[in-house]
Chains A and B, each alone.
Chain A
Amino acid sequence: MGENDHAAIRAILSGDKEAYGALVVRHSQGLFRVAFRITGNEADAEEVVQEAFLRGYQKLVSFQSRSSFGTWIYRIAVRCALDRINSSKVEGTSRIAPETDPVQREMQLPNETAGPERLLLSREIGKMQETAMHSLTPIERTAFVLRHMEDLTTEEIASALGIAPNAAKQAVFRAVQKLRCRLAALRVNI
Chain B
Amino acid sequence: MKHVSEEDLIEHHYGESNASVERHLEVCGECAKAYAALTRDLAELKTAEPPARNALYGEQVWRSLSNSLPVYAKRERNWSHVGLWKGVSYAAAGVLLVVGVFLAGRQWEQRKPRTMAKNDVQAKQHIVLLILGDHLDRSERLLVELKHADASSTDTLLPMREEARNLLAANRVCQQSVTQIDDPALATFLNHLGRVLAELVNGPGGLSGSNITRLQNEMNTDSLLFEIRVLRSRVPDQQSGGAIQPNGGTI
Alpha-carbon distance A45/B53, docked complex (angstroms)? 11
Given known pairs A28-B61, A32-B57, the reply for A148 and B10 (CB within 8 Å) is no
The B54-84 residues at the A interface (CB cut-off 8 A) are: 57-59, 61-62, 64-66, 68-74, 76-77, 80
The B149-201 residues at the A interface (CB cut-off 8 A) are: none
B14: interface (CB < 8 Å): yes
User: 1/0 per residue B103-145: CB within 8 Å of A?
Assistant: 0000000000000000000000000000000000000000000
Question: CB-CB < 8 A to A97: which residues of B?
Answer: none
Partner among A53, A126, A133, A176 whose Cβ is within 8 Å of the Cβ of B65: A53
Question: CB-CB < 8 A to A54: which residues of B?
Answer: 65, 68-69
For B, the interface residue count at a CB cutoff of 8 angstroms equals 35
B218: interface (CB < 8 Å): no
B7: interface (CB < 8 Å): yes
Q: Are A180 and B71 in contact (CB under 8 A)?
A: no
Question: CB-CB < 8 A to B72: which residues of A?
Answer: 12-15, 17, 60-61
Q: Are A183 and B47 in contact (CB under 8 A)?
A: no
B23: interface (CB < 8 Å): no
The DSSP consensus for interface residues of chain B is: helix
- Considering the complex, give the chain B residue whose CB is closest to the CB of A34: B50
Partner among B44, B66, B68, B74 whose Cβ is within 8 Å of the Cβ of A15: B74
Q: Are B10 and A15 in contact (CB under 8 A)?
A: no
Question: CB-CB < 8 A to A12: which residues of B?
Answer: 72
User: 1/0 per residue A10-47: CB within 8 Å of B?
Assistant: 10111101101100111111001100110010100100
- Considering the complex, give the chain B residue whose CB is closest to the CB of A153: B16
Most buried by B among A10, A29, A147: A29
Q: Are B58 and A40 in contact (CB under 8 A)?
A: no
Alpha-carbon distance A60/B65, docked complex (angstroms)? 15
User: 1/0 per residue B189-222: CB within 8 Å of A?
Assistant: 0000000000000000000000000000000000
For A, the interface residue count at a CB cutoff of 8 angstroms equals 47
**Chain A nearest CB: distance from B59 CB in Å?**
6
- Considering the complex, give the chain A residue whose CB is closest to the CB of B64: A50
Question: CB-CB < 8 A to A45: which residues of B?
Answer: 50
Given known pairs A50-B65, A53-B65, the reply for A176 and B47 (CB within 8 Å) is no
Q: Are A133 and B80 in contact (CB under 8 A)?
A: no
Given known pairs A14-B77, A129-B45, A130-B48, the reply for A57 and B61 (CB within 8 Å) is no
Alpha-carbon distance A17/B41, docked complex (angstroms)? 48
Alpha-carbon distance A148/B42, docked complex (angstroms)? 8
Going nearest first, the 10 A-B pairs with the smallest beta carbon separation are A25-B58, A14-B77, A28-B58, A36-B50, A15-B74, A24-B62, A21-B62, A33-B50, A17-B71, A28-B61
A-B contact pairs, 20 of them (CB 8 A): A12-B72, A14-B74, A15-B73, A20-B66, A20-B69, A21-B59, A24-B62, A25-B59, A26-B58, A28-B62, A32-B53, A36-B50, A37-B50, A53-B61, A57-B65, A61-B76, A129-B46, A169-B11, A176-B10, A176-B38
